[in-house]
Amino acid sequence: MTSPSRLFELTKHLSGIVQELEKVGIRIEIGDDFAKYRASRSELSGRGPIYPMFDVAASYIDDTNGFWICGFNDNGDLIHTQAVRLLDLSGSSLNIHLDRHRHKYITPDSTPDPDQTFYSGPDALQFITGRVCYQGEFWLRAQGLGGPRSQGVTTLLSRLMLEVAVATWNPSYVFALVPQRVAAKGAHLRYCFNHCEPGQWIGPDQQVTEEDYLIWMEASELERTLAKTRPATEVEAKAPVTTLAASLVRGALDVGVAANG
């Protein structure tokens, strides 16, 4: 059982991240109503369709296996999205999962035949298993040199996601798929991930239809990464966060965060 003092320190830390984001003009909203997320996401112009993994019209996703984070500017415009999906890969592997559910990960219209397109490359596909969190839908609107991207908020947003994921599910692994052009710029470091491996979607004629790199980390690396930014009193507590922590986290996020779902 996690001590009340540990939970209190964690909620203070999350509130601190939210307040830092507010200083650069981003109001955070966290929720698990994916019908609401779909409606907000569909209003964004210039973006492709929502990925099926997070689309309630294509997947079963609710508060038991997912949450989303949205950021709004002072005018109420949506300027940031990301979402997380919990996967039960007990007795399986990420390699098997991506083979079975590739349609939910393939970028729409990127291949002539999704049924004959498969992901390959990273060694980690074989050993990522257990309780696994998938991060997707990460987007932050560019606003010139003074915008949020230039102020280092990508790392803050990723840390917020990881803290909530750990508090809610304590996953064995966390992973994301990022385009090669983004990975080449060190995306895994900005997103707080430890590992980055090249990967490709191979089409029906053995052609490369898309290059997506796998970024990932396992539980002990995740804890060390987050511990570097937590208050010292919080780092001293080693016990994993329970589901009780998740409810307290949501309560604490009332400071600067509107929780929905």
Q: Say yes or no to pLDDT of 261 above 70.
A: no
Q: What is the pLDDT of residues 99-146, one digit of tens each?
A: 999 999 998 889 999 999 999 999 999 999 999 999 999 999 886 434
pLDDT reported for residue 239: 43
Q: Residues 48-53: contacts with CB within 8 Å, 24+ apart? A: 48/107, 48/108, 49/108, 50/137, 51/104, 51/105, 51/136, 51/137, 52/103, 52/104, 53/85, 53/101, 53/104, 53/105, 53/134, 53/136
Structure tokens at 6: 């540990």
What string of H, E and C letters represents the secondary structure of the chain? CCCHHHHHHHHHHHHHHHHHHHHCCCEEEEECCHHHHHHHHHCCCCCCCCCHHHCCCCCCCCCCCEEEEEEECCCCCEEEEEEEEEEEECCCCHHHHHHHCHHHCCCCCCCCCHHHCEEECCHHHHCCCEEEEEEEEEEECCCCCCCHHHHCHHHHHHHHHHHHHHHHHCCCEEEEEEEHHHHCCCHHHHCCCCEEECCEEECCCCCEEEEEEEEEEEHHHHHHHHHCCCCHHHHCCCCCCCHHHHHHHHHHCCCCEEEEC
Q: Which of 31-35, 100-104, 147-151, 221-225 is predicted with the least confidence, judged by mean pLDDT?
A: 147-151
% pLDDT > 90, the chain = 70
Domain-wise residue ranges, the chain:
4-260
Q: Say yes or no to pLDDT of 238 above 50.
A: no
pLDDT reported for residue 22: 95
pLDDT higher for 144 or 256? 144
β-bridge pairing 208-218 and 195-197: antiparallel
> Around Cβ 1, how many Cβ atoms within 10 Å?
7
Cα separation of 55 and 34, whole Å?
7
> What class does CATH assign to 4-260?
alpha beta
Q: What is the pLDDT of residues 34-77, one digit of tens each?
A: 999 999 999 998 888 899 999 999 999 999 999 999 999 999 99
pTM here? 0.84
